[in-house]
Amino acid sequence: MARYVFITGGVVSSLGKGLASAALGALLQARGFTVRLRKLDPYLNVDPGTMSPFEHGEVFVTDDGAETDLDLGHYERFTGVPARATDSISAGRIYMNVLEKERRGDYLGRTIQVIPHVTDEIKAFLRIGEDETDFMLCEIGGTVGDIEGLPFFEAIRQFAHERPRHACIFVHVTLLPFIAASGELKTKPTQHSVKELRAIGIAPDVLLCRSEHPIPDKEREKIALFCNVRPDAVIPAYDLTSIYAAPLAYHRAGFDRAVLDAFAIAPAPRPDLRRWEDVIDRLEHAEGEVRVAVVGKYTGLDDAYKSIAEALTHGGIANRVRVRAEWIDAEIFEREDPAPWLEGFHAILVPGGFGERGTEGKIKAAAFARLRAVPYLGICLGMQMAVIELARDCAGLADAGSEEFDVEAGRRRFTPVIYHLKEWVQGNRRVERRPTDAKGGTMRLGAYSALLAPGSRAAAAYGAGEVEERHRHRYEVDIRYRDRLEACGMVFSGMSPDGRLPEIVELRDHPWFVGVQFHPELKSKPLAPHPLFAAFVRAAVEASRLV
């Protein structure tokens, strides 16, 4: 039976609860334990798949095809444990499950209430797979006191109450604001937020206190006294230069020690943190810098391309260089010549996206990379745009385009070299899409394998003949145009096992130009940089030597 760590937040949002949870997972692993991380989101959307990246950051896709919160990306990056559909849930999904049961008559006509029906549903979710791991780390989204969050707090209170002593602990992440005028750190908001937690029956075992200034011992003792927490379980969490410094920094601050103490695990196994020390060494002692232009659409919000930003950093870790990624709005290239914008970059990345806006600009970025021999990585939509560009410029299909934009425009304007696939094979299962499928239900989602062509750049990067990568898209490159594109120097270096779906394309006479239909960024980790990102950054390093 797993031990449970519940991670809650107080005072304000955006304190880095997800990062703290992920770092704790890594620290427990470094002590030889197995972990699984889970996110419970109090919002009422049923899943994050249809939420705008502007509002909610990127959608993180799991191997089993769930569209989840980007915090699951953090969890995977820090622990390497592949997230599953059952590691993320929203209040909307919980209520939907309860209401579906009610409609089916499962409750035999009884009155349906938050306690016990909604809380039971939450507790059942918490228990999934509990026999497979030593520790289950469950993060509750939002902050204590949010109306939507109440059923979740009540459920974890009950859950801990029903388990034996020392089987569940509560970590609360708070903020100590600094008042410049008086030069003081303020503990009152933390006291209030713990008071709020205790009012609903939860007494935190560990407090993780975010602060921009050093926390004097006197203040720590005061927090311990007023919040009824042991002084060595009041853990300072200062701002870090890199998120990957979190495991080492939190370890030095005593976080994992305090967690094990709260579980009464003694003696605690010693941690082996050498791999994290190596990551920090590579980040802090980078031998040079490369500049990568990311030409996309959702450029207003950092979190919209979270995994890509992280995967580029990992590519830098693999090559011992710093990667400076600069985000450029693709729409600019629809009005202006891309050359002055893109000259000076050592590589260009065009990420995934939906909808027509900005696509002509992405096509221009792909053309610039191809004709100027700049390393290029096209991800999903970025691959499709590279194919359209070559089809238009070389394969004699001046009106090449994607069916996606014709569907949106309601009329046919393009020769669809990218088309909507209606049925395909996943493993040994046939999958079909119908126009009546709910939004989000019509995509090719989750892990699919690809066979790599021997001798290709893709095969060289992976050092393997078959790979499995995560997908999230509706449209595909039409292989009926394969011959024409091959005549223009394109290599179809990764194909679905049935040979119908192009998974990777590359250009033969180019230093490094690769397009992938899947999302390699979702599987990249600091301790295991993704092979394509490592190879892409390597190509950027080589390009930087030529300049």
> Residue numbers of the site for ligand GLN (CB under 6 A)?
352-354, 380-381, 404, 472-475
Q: List the alpha helices (DSSP H) in 90-233.
A: 91-104, 119-127, 150-162, 188-199, 217-227
Active site residue 510: no
Name residue 462's amino acid: Y
Q: Tokens 């993320």, residue?
A: 88
- Min dist. Cβ of residue 355 to ligand GLN (A): 7
- Kindly state the smallest distance separating residue 513's Cβ from ligand GLN, in Å: 18
Angstrom CA distances, 297 to 75, 211, 329, 347, 533, stand at 26, 34, 6, 18, 21
Sign (positive or negative) of CA dihedral 79, 81, 82, 85: negative
CB atoms within 10 A of CB 267: 6
Query: For residues 317 and 283, is the Cβ–Cβ distance under 8 A?
Result: yes
* Residue 124 CA from chain centroid, whole number: 25
Name which of 210 and 472 has its Cβ closer to ligand GLN: 472
Minimum CB separation from ligand GLN for residue 388, in Å?
Answer: 12
* Least distance in angstroms from the C-beta of 96 to ligand GLN: 25
* Angle in degrees, CA 30, 33, 36, rounded to 5: 105
Strands of 24-176, DSSP E: 35-41, 60-61, 67-68, 88-90, 135-140, 168-175
**Residue number with CB closer to ligand GLN (67 or 71):** 67
Measured from the CB of residue 441, what is the shortest distance to ligand GLN in angstroms?
13
In the annotation, is 469 catalytic?
no
Among 9, 62, 352, smallest CA distance to 209 is for 9
Catalytic residue (one of 58, 380, 476, 506): 380
Q: Which is nearer to ligand GLN, 135 or 305 (CB)?
A: 305
Q: Residue 392 Cβ, how far from ligand GLN at the closest point, in Å? A: 18
Nearer to ligand GLN, 77 or 471 (CB): 471
192 is catalytic: no
What are the helix (H) ranges across 410-488?
A: 457-462, 482-487
**Separation CA 110–CA 108 (nearest Å):** 6
Cis peptide before 116 (omega within 30 of 0): yes
- The minimum distance between CB 253 and ligand GLN, in angstroms, equals 39
Taking the complex as a whole, the smallest distance from the CB of residue 523 to ligand GLN amounts, in Å, to 15
Considering beta carbons, is residue 307 or 456 the nearer one to ligand GLN?
307
234 — phi, psi (to 5°)? Answer: -95, 105
Catalytic residue among 56, 74, 314, 519: 519
Catalytic: which of 251, 503, 521, 530? 521
User: By beta-carbon distance, which residue lies closest to ligand GLN?
Assistant: 352
Compare residues 9 and 446 and give the one whose CB is closer to ligand GLN.
446
The residue (of 321 and 380) whose beta carbon lies closer to ligand GLN is 380
Would you say 117 or 472 has its CB closer to ligand GLN? 472
Q: What is the DSSP letter of 115?
A: I
String of DSSP letters for 460-493: HHHTSSEEEEEEEESEEE-GGGHHHHHHTTEEEE
Strand, helix or coil at 453?
coil
Cα–Cα dist 208/196, whole Å: 16
Q: At what angle do helices 255-262 and 17-30 cross, to 10 degrees?
A: 80
The residues facing 276 across adjacent strands are none
Which residues are identified as catalytic? 380, 519, 521
